[in-house]
């Protein structure tokens, strides 16, 4: 049973929206403004849909105004690094130095979630590990955006952009909302005392995170290697690693990354499941549309390659 609070309701709405988008995606006569709303990047021209008309109507002009460059994805990871650095710093302060979270942050927690829970669903160690992993994920993706990735001139709808910012801003709040109360009452004397909370699922979740993170990074390196330079905007068929199995291994890896957080939190943390299902709905929808784009653009696209789940989907 999912918790009854404002943030969980928001996640449920977002999940429902992505499921609805998948249904709309299957409608061949979908109006351009709806197609531009639910699609982004190169897939906007799947089956010729979403192409701007020669006549510049008020609707087509509005669509252009509501689009932002896809390379603005970098802002997601800047937000992630800022928010999770703040959280990790304050968590360490609370656990080891008798500190307290800023009052305004606790007010936000209480308003959006059921914090504090009478019976926390995760230990201090679990919460600290997950926030640290989210920070690592944000730092790595920020590095890849700045140093490795080479983006085309494709765009995304501003609604996708805003939703992405909200996701990375509130991911950490979901985690701490069902952990121990963030006051000096949880102060510990040493790292050893915290380490005594170590369980098998912490190790399993971290190993899974590292495994998925490695393949996530490899996928982005392969993407970057398909282009001869930052001015190259062409698209080619990617090969290597998980690309031999699915069209979007980076989406598959991201799903596994958030699944690993469920494991680290000991399977009892309700809010993290909502974050996972949101990621799952988002990435599955995106991968299926990308897979269809590849198959339409390249006649020699590998027939045995699936969209996101090897041998199945």
Do 186 and 203 lie in a common domain?
Answer: no
Q: Domain check: are 193 and 75 in the same one?
A: yes
Residues 211, 301, single domain; the answer is: yes
Burial of 187 (0-12, 13-18, 19+ CB in 10 A): middle
**What's the mean per-residue pLDDT of the chain?**
84
The residue from 179, 197, 215 where one domain ends is 197
In a domain, 171, yes or no: yes
Global pTM value: 0.88
Same domain, 92 and 182: yes
pLDDT band at 194 (very low <50, low <70, confident <90, very high): confident
Cβ contact 14:285 at 8 Å: no
Q: Would residue 42 count as lying in a domain?
A: no
* Domain assignment of residue 65, yes or no: no
In tens, the pLDDT along 30-68 reads: 666 566 666 666 665 555 554 544 445 555 565 566 778
In a domain, 245, yes or no: yes
Spatial neighbors of 210 by CB under 8 A, at least 6 apart, are none
On whether residue 55 sits in a domain, the answer given is no
203 and 308 belong to one structural domain: yes
In a domain, 216, yes or no: yes
Q: State pLDDT tens for residues 120-175.
A: 999 989 999 999 999 999 999 999 988 887 776 777 778 888 888 999 999 999 99
Q: What is the pLDDT of residue 52?
A: 47
> Which of 170, 148, 166, 276 minimizes the C-alpha distance to 219?
148
> Rounded to whole angstroms, how far apart are CA atoms 92 and 191?
10
Q: For residues 193 and 243, state if they share a domain.
A: no
Q: Which of 181, 197, 213 represents a domain boundary (last residue)? A: 197
Same domain, residue pair 94 and 127: yes
The answer to whether residues 75 and 191 belong to one domain is yes
What pLDDT is attached to residue 7?
Answer: 94
Query: Which pLDDT score, from 0 to 100, does residue 181 have?
Result: 85
Does some domain include residue 36? no
Q: Are 78 and 150 in the same domain?
A: yes
Domain range for 121 is 70-197
Please identify, among 175, 197, 219, the residue that sits at the C-terminal boundary of a domain.
197
pLDDT at 233 over 80: no
Residue 85 and residue 189 share a domain: yes
Report pLDDT digits (tens) over 91-128.
988 888 877 889 999 999 999 999 989 899 999 899 99
Residues 213 and 150 grouped into a single domain: no
Total number of domains in the chain? 2
Considering the domain boundaries, does residue 268 fall inside one?
A: yes
For 71-86, letters b (16+ CB in 10 Å) and e give: bbbbbbbebbbebbeb
**305 and 206 in a common domain:** yes
């Amino acid at each position: 049973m999912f918790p009854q609070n404002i943030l969980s309701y928001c996640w449920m709405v977002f999940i429902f929206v992505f499921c609805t988008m998948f249904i709309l995606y299957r409608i061949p006569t979908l109006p351009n403004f709806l197609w531009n709303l639910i699609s982004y990047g190169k897939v906007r021209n799947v089956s010729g849909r979403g192409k701007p008309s020669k006549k510049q109507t008020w609707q087509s002009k509005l669509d252009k105004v509501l689009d932002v460059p896809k390379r603005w994805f970098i802002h997601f990871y800047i937000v992630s690094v800022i928010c999770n650095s703040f959280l990790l710093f304050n968590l360490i302060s609370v656990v080891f130095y008798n500190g307290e979270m800023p009052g305004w942050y606790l007010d936000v927690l209480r308003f959006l979630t059921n914090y504090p829970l009478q019976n926390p669903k995760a230990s201090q160690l679990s919460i600290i590990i997950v926030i640290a992993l989210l920070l690592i994920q944000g730092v790595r993706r920020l590095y890849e955006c700045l140093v490795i990735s080479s983006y085309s001139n494709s765009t995304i709808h501003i609604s996708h952009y805003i939703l992405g910012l909200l996701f990375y801003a509130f991911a950490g709040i979901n985690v701490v909302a069902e952990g121990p109360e963030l006051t000096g009452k949880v102060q510990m004397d040493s790292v050893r005392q915290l380490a005594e909370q170590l369980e098998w699922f912490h190790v399993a979740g971290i190993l899974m995170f590292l495994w998925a993170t490695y393949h996530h990074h490899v996928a982005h390196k392969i993407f970057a290697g398909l282009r001869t330079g930052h001015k190259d905007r062409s698209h080619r068929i990617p090969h290597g690693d998980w690309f031999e199995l699915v069209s979007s291994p980076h989406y598959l890896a991201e799903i596994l990354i958030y699944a690993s957080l469920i494991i680290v939190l000991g399977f009892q943390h309700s809010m993290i499941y909502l974050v996972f299902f949101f990621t799952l709905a988002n990435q599955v929808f995106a991968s299926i549309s990308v897979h269809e784009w590849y198959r339409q653009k390249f006649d020699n696209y590998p027939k045995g390659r699936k969209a996101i789940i090897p041998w199945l989907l």
